[in-house]
A and B are shown apart, each in its own frame.
Chain A
């Protein structure tokens, strides 16, 4: 147990984003703009997980995200757990939630949508349904999970 936790070394202060599907770790980094973050970031991919079999993890030093900011990753990592660490102690553990409104991030599936014709930032509202569906604010067409392309 101790050994496993140390595969990616512990944080003193900051946020751990755990249980990310391995293949989407880089996507999460991009969505959160971590590629330009100047503090220490540690990440692991294809780590062993009891819950998922295989998972990714990101540890961001000295960074505490706003809810709206972190929930943006829910589309690519709906299973993600957020752990806020202060002074090596777990302060809070929460799940990400898919926000009702999504700006940017996802491309509209409809090739004849204005967002695919001109430089317009995509906007969606979440459709309340069992599977993940987004309704485009502009063309009103629905983009389902299988058709989602991330910007």
Chain B
């Protein structure tokens, strides 16, 4: 995968995805490996992000690489009206790899076409966030020892949640059965369902969280985002619909793990945190291993 940008999860084949997860396992065992000693990685965050940026920067630091970049475009020449094209061409002269988050959809694909060095998409608006998908896959593999034939439930905002869309598309390669729990107005878009249908897999839709709890191996919770609603009353109506507490885990499979891309608000009670079935903090840690694996693999070091 040397030199191959990662913009959309489907840019990498199933084998390539599994290869990244394999390398991530090596980093989980031995996180400090000074492979990036002579490398510079740019992290260009045109909109604020805590988790993703710090996770990338932690990954580069643990590999001994140098980081240049910005965490907010207001202090850059973008404010002076510089085009994304010019910014990317310039910065690709300064570094060996670009990690970019930008609120404009498709900006990452475009950046990868004008950049002289590979680009990793760290989120382009509501479109793609492939490193989140890889770390979600890694976490599922870690907890279930397989990605094949699982029953996976997605809960909350399935309409706008890009992490859900990408993970569903990725899991279509692994013969999974999908259980979608959401308010009617936040159902999974048909553009994503097309992928499930193409692979002739099965999905079920629910409005009640309790209906899926006994059935699944993975419970992927998401936050319902206030900013998605034009009508505040509508948000008030749905915001507390799906609230997972510890007691609800009693009637679930032994191997069930609860995941969440974070940040959470009130979808998971804090009393779930200590349950052996809670796995969302480990999931966030896995982000570092997966990003280490991806970076070293793209730079041809693994």
| Residue A110 at the chain B interface, CB threshold 8 Å | yes
The chain A residue with its CB closest to the CB of B102 is: A114
Interface size range on B against A? 10 to 19
Check B105 against A113 for contact (C-beta < 8 Å).
yes
| Residue B104 at the chain A interface, CB threshold 8 Å | yes
Check A114 against B84 for contact (C-beta < 8 Å).
yes
Check B109 against A113 for contact (C-beta < 8 Å).
no
- In chain A, positions 104-151 with a C-beta closer than 8 Å to chain B are 108, 110, 112-115, 117-120, 136-142
Min CB distance, A72 to chain B, in Å?
Answer: 22
The chain A residue with its CB closest to the CB of B114 is: A120
Min CB distance, A129 to chain B, in Å?
Answer: 8
- In chain B, positions 170-201 with a C-beta closer than 8 Å to chain A are 191
The chain B residue with its CB closest to the CB of A108 is: B106
Check A120 against B110 for contact (C-beta < 8 Å).
yes
Min CB distance, B192 to chain A, in Å?
Answer: 11
Check A112 against B109 for contact (C-beta < 8 Å).
no
Which DSSP category, helix, strand, loop or mixed, fits chain A's interface?
A: loop
Which chain B residues lie closer than 8 Å to A112 at the CB level? 103-105, 125-126
Check B106 against A140 for contact (C-beta < 8 Å).
yes
Which chain A residues lie closer than 8 Å to B126 at the CB level? 112
The chain A residue with its CB closest to the CB of B189 is: A142
A108 CA to B107 CA in the complex, in Å? 14
| Residue B8 at the chain A interface, CB threshold 8 Å | yes
- In chain A, positions 21-59 with a C-beta closer than 8 Å to chain B are none
Given A114-B84, A118-B83, A119-B83; A136-B106 close (CB under 8 Å)? yes
| Residue B128 at the chain A interface, CB threshold 8 Å | yes
A142 CA to B189 CA in the complex, in Å? 11
A131 CA to B191 CA in the complex, in Å? 14
The chain B residue with its CB closest to the CB of A115 is: B106
Which residue numbers of A lie inside 8 Å of B, CB to CB? 108, 110, 112-115, 117-120, 136-142
20 contacts between A and B (CB under 8 A): A112-B104, A112-B126, A113-B106, A114-B84, A114-B104, A114-B105, A114-B109, A115-B106, A117-B107, A118-B83, A120-B106, A120-B110, A138-B105, A138-B110, A139-B105, A139-B124, A139-B127, A140-B105, A140-B106, A140-B127
Which residue numbers of B lie inside 8 Å of A, CB to CB? 8, 83-85, 103-107, 109-110, 124-128, 191
